[in-house]
């Protein structure tokens, strides 16, 4: 029984789209959020296009990447199979199951069925250690909810929401919903009493290579610029281990900037989410002593890794819509006036990413400083990750957020998808973002609508 929506976009369609639709621009003024590689696509395939300046040498790998991202991995656990593939523990059988249409996953209930298991919402685990955290001794780094035949799964994730009422400055009422998480049906005994949980929803896949090409010094400069900020904004760089460089590097990916490069992110995703091992991460995340986790040759081949890397680096960012309407222009001014742009840093001139001319020297508008911020108690997960503490989250890029309803059929935002629309996402801001949030909360209705229209145009 498939637990997730089948993906309507067939490989064939993507291939045709690749050949016919790249680079097609209209005369409507639009802001090229993703530089010269931006695309004018506004339908449910808006996140699935290759950069419109795709280099010829990447075409074949990009197309192979399309099919690998959609590939369903099978749990051929037969002892005779030298490459067991999926599992023994996994969250999903394909990348696209969590990143539907290269877009954003949804938490349970987003489509009305509150009881569906959280597929695209995964749960990181750890316990406190002298210098940060270490994996939960039995359950490991991630509470995978699936296992191959013959192996007990780690268990289930249950979520209940508590309603938190609030009021805009003009008296209009609103409600936020605060999720609470419980791990049940535990397959391997009790969890360590100090277990820390970090729920995370799968984000959209666009523009990731461009973010990788942002110069490290520009990220560090963002942190310097925020020193002594009047609102108390004080972004911090995350530094994490990276396979590519072999040393600590600035974290850019993941909700806590917990991953430095896309190669590392791909190895992590295969290992933690699908249970597919690689030379970089040859061990399964398994309870100790389980025979299903016997050592075996690595399951991911170089022939699979390269195309997926090209694919993940070159998914295009759709250009802004309706940028020249009076309401969006007003919203853009309010975004700056409310000091959202201090964290959601609008623009960069990218540096260089070896072998990827498409990403070099691009004027991009991702709306992120790629820094960590204390976002207050309501959003805290109390689980450190690299240098990030349990109250910090990375400012997520805002490009594409206005198209998530079109691409994914839902409007769930923030790291665990708790916000049911863009207004709720902003109302959850606290901690360093409290002053900024208060400017939004106390705007009149027309200004709030303008600010939201601007977000929706991104
Ligand atoms: C179980 C759901 C799930 C599966 C399966 C999954 N992902 Fe993800 N993905 C996530 C989540 C959740 C995050 C955010 C992780 C974090 O914050 O640490 C993420 C993050 C990413 C990112 C970084 C995005 C960003 O903006 O920082 C990339 C790239 C990515 N995944 C690629 C893949 C690829 C490629 C596959 C298949 C090999 C895959 N994912 C499989 C859930 C999933
Ligand atoms: C102090 C830094 C900071 C400021 C100021 C700030 N934000 Fe954010 N923003 C963040 C962080 C960090 C997150 C992610 C929080 C999370 O997922 O728990 C976020 C998330 C968001 C999201 C959801 C994005 C997504 O991908 O789900 C939106 C929309 C957003 N911010 C808009 C705004 C607006 C509008 C303002 C101004 C009123 C603003 N932000 C001010 C740091 C900031």
For 346-375, how does the pLDDT look when each residue is reduced to its tens digit (9 = 90+)? Answer: 999 999 999 999 999 999 999 999 999 999
- What is the distance, to the nearest Å, from the Cα of residue 8 to the centroid of all Cα atoms in its chain? 22
pLDDT score, position 70: 94
Model confidence at 166: pLDDT above 70: yes
The pLDDT value recorded for residue 11 is: 42
Pocket of ligand 1 (CB under 6 A): 91-92, 95, 97-99, 120, 122, 200-203, 208, 253-255, 258, 262, 265-266, 269-270, 273-274, 308, 312
Rounded to 5 degrees, what angle do the CA atoms 28, 30, 33 make? 160
CATH 1.10.760 correct for 22-56+206-236+315-457: yes
pLDDT digits (tens, 9 = 90+) for 230-250: 999 999 999 998 877 788 899
CA distance 413 to 129: 31
Which segment of 256-265, 266-275, 280-289, 350-359 scores lowest on mean pLDDT?
280-289
| Burial of 186 (C-beta count, 10 Å sphere; 0-12/13-18/19+) | middle
pLDDT tens profile 130-152: 888 999 999 999 999 998 888 99
Q: Which atom of ligand 1 is nearest to the CA of 120?
A: 2
Banded pLDDT at 114 (limits 50, 70, 90): low
Spatial separation of the C-alpha atoms in residues 252 and 427, rounded to whole Å: 24
Q: How far is the CA of 203 from the centre of ligand 1 (A)?
A: 7
Closest to 381 in 3D by CA, of 418, 348, 352, 350: 418
> Atom 11, ligand 1: which residue's CA is nearest?
202
| pLDDT band with cut points at 50, 70 and 90 for residue 115 | low
Domain-by-domain residue ranges, the chain? 22-56+206-236+315-457, 63-204+261-297
Ligand nearest to the CA of 379: 2
pTM of the full structure: 0.93
What's the CA-to-centroid distance between 339 and ligand 2, angstroms? 11
Percent of the chain residues past pLDDT 70, beyond the cut: 90
The confidence score (pLDDT) of residue 297 equals 73
| Ligand 1 geometric centre to CA of 270 (Å) | 9
Alpha carbon nearest to ligand 2 atom 9, residue: 395
């Amino acid at each position: 029984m498939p637990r997730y929506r089948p993906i309507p976009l067939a490989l064939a369609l993507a291939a045709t789209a690749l050949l016919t639709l790249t680079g097609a621009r209209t005369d409507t003024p639009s802001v090229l959020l993703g530089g010269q590689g931006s695309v004018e696509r506004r339908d449910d395939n808006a996140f699935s296009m290759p950069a419109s300046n795709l280099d010829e040498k990447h075409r074949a790998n990009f197309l192979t990447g399309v099919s690998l991202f959609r590939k369903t991995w099978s749990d051929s656990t037969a002892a005779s199979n030298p490459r067991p593939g999926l599992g023994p523990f996994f969250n999903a059988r394909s990348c696209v199951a969590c990143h539907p249409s290269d877009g954003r996953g949804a938490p349970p209930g987003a489509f009305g069925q509150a009881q569906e298991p959280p597929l695209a919402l995964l749960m990181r685990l750890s316990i406190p250690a002298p210098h940060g955290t270490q994996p939960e001794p039995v359950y490991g780094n991630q509470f995978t909810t699936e296992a191959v035949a013959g192996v007990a799964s780690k268990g289930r994730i249950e979520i209940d929401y508590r309603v938190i009422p609030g009021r805009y400055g003009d008296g209009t009422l609103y409600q936020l919903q605060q999720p609470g998480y419980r791990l049940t049906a535990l397959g391997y005994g009790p969890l360590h009493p100090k277990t820390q949980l970090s729920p995370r929803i799968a984000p959209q896949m666009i523009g990731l290579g461009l973010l990788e090409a942002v110069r490290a010094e520009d990220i560090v400069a963002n942190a310097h610029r925020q020193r002594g900020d009047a609102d108390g904004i004080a972004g911090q760089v995350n530094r994490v281990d990276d396979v590519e460089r072999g040393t600590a590097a600035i974290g850019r990916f993941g909700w806590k900037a917990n991953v430095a490069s896309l190669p590392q992110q791909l190895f992590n995703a295969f290992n933690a989410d699908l249970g597919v091992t690689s030379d970089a991460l040859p061990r399964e995340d398994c309870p100790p002593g389980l025979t299903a986790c016997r050592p075996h040759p690595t399951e991911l081949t170089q022939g699979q890794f390269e195309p997926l890397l090209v694919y993940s680096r070159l998914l295009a960012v759709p250009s802004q819509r309706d940028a020249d309407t009076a309401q969006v222009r007003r919203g853009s001014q309010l975004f700056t006036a409310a000091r959202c742009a201090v964290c959601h840093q609008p623009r960069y001139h990218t540096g260089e990413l070896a072998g990827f001319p498409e990403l070099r020297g691009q004027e991009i508008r991702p709306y992120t400083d790629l820094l960590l911020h204390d976002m207050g108690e309501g959003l805290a997960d109390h689980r450190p990750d690299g240098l990030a503490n349990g109250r910090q989250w990375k400012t997520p890029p805002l490009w594409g957020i206005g198209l998530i309803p079109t691409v994914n059929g839902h409007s769930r935002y923030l790291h665990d998808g708790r916000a049911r629309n863009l207004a709720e996402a902003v109302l959850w801001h606290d901690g360093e973002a409290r002053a900024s949030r208060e400017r939004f909360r106390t705007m009149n209705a027309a200004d709030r609508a303008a600010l939201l229209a601007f977000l929706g145009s991104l």
